[in-house]
Amino acid sequence: MSDAAVAIQNLQVTVHQQNQTKVILDNVDLTIAPGDFVTVLGTNGAGKSTLFNAIAGNLPATGRVQLAGVDVTTMSAIQRARYIARVFQDPKLGTAGRMTVAENLVLAQHRGERRTLAGRHLEAARPRLKKEAAQFGNGLEDLLDSPTETLSGGQRQSLALLMAVQKDPALLLLDEHTAALDPHTSAQLMALTDRVIKERHLTALMITHRMDDALKYGNRLIVMESGHLKADYNAASKAKLQRADLLEFFD
C-alpha cells in the first residue's frame, strides 16, 4: 500500500436531501500505481465527479485517502493542493482571466505553498515559460503577455493543463477537460495530455464521456455505476476491449 501513488479505502460520500439520506459514493477502494494513467467512464450520476471531489477534499467524505505515501484524509482541499492538480471541463476554471498567461504560469509554480509578498521573478522565468508553452503548438508561447480571458477555449485549456503539471503533482485529476472543445481541438489536447503524462511520468485519473478516448488513452480503465466501481481493466484486458464491450454498461 505504501508504494502506491494513490490508496483509497472505504471512501464514502453521503448527502441528506428532503429528510432522506443518499449514498452517492459507496465504500470505494482504489489503488493506483505510480505512473498509471487511468481513464474513468460512467453514466451521469455514476459518481465520477463525486470521486474526484472526495479525493481533492472538496466534499466531506468518510474513509481514507493516501497520496504518495502521505495520509491526506484529514487535510483540507487547500492542503491537498500540494499533492493534487486538477483540470476542469470549463476552460475558465483553474486560470485567472485578468492575469496574463505568464502570470498564471508563475502563480502555478507556487500551488499549495503559503502565499508571501516575494517577487514573482517573471522576467527570469520567461525563457523557460516560452519554451514550455511552445510544446502545445497553438501559439501559446507568443501570448505570454496576453490576458488569459482573451485566449481561445483550446488555448486556455492548454494553459490550464500546463499550469497543473508545473510542479509534477502526485496526482493529476482530469475532469472531462476536453468536453467543452470542438472535436479537432479536443483531439489535439488529448494527444498533448498523453504526451505530457508519459514524459513527466505522472499519475493521472481522467473522466471522459468519449469511449474512443477511454479506449485509446491510458493503461487502465475503470467504469463507475451508482457510486461503485463496476469494472476495472488493467493494461492487458483494456487492450482487448472494443467499443461494444463498453456500451453494455450504458444500456
Predicted pLDDT of residue 191: 93
Q: How far is CA 224 from CA 42, 66, 78, 169, in A?
A: 5, 21, 27, 24
Instruction: Tell me, letter by letter, the H, E, C secondary structure of 30-76.
Output: EEECCCCEEEEEECCCCCHHHHHHHHHCCCCCEEEEEECCEECCCCC
Predicted pLDDT of residue 113: 58
**Lowest mean pLDDT segment, chosen from 11-15, 120-124, 187-191:** 120-124
For 50, the grid coordinates are 463525486
Beta bridge partners of 6: 32, 67
Residue 46, pLDDT above cutoff 90 = yes
Residue 17, pLDDT above cutoff 70 = yes
Domains and their CATH numbers in the chain: 1-83+170-251 (3.40.50.300), 97-168 (no CATH)
Predicted pLDDT of residue 68: 94
Within 13 Å of residue 187, how many CA atoms lie on the same side as its CB?
A: 3
Give the residue carrying C-alpha cell 465520477.
48
Q: Which residues contact 21 (CB under 8 A, 6 or more apart)?
A: 14, 15
Rounded to whole angstroms, the Cα distance separating 99 from 122 reads 13
Q: What is the pLDDT of residues 106-126, one digit of tens each?
A: 888 766 555 543 445 677 778
3-state secondary structure of 222: strand
Q: What is the pLDDT of residues 191-249, one digit of tens each?
A: 999 999 999 999 999 999 999 999 999 999 999 999 999 999 999 999 999 999 988 88
221 closest CA partner among 195, 203, 239: 239
Rounded to whole angstroms, the Cα distance separating 193 from 162 reads 9
pTM for the model? 0.91
Rounded to whole angstroms, the Cα distance separating 98 from 107 reads 13
Q: Which residues contact 246 (CB under 8 A, 6 or more apart)?
A: 41, 211, 214, 215, 223
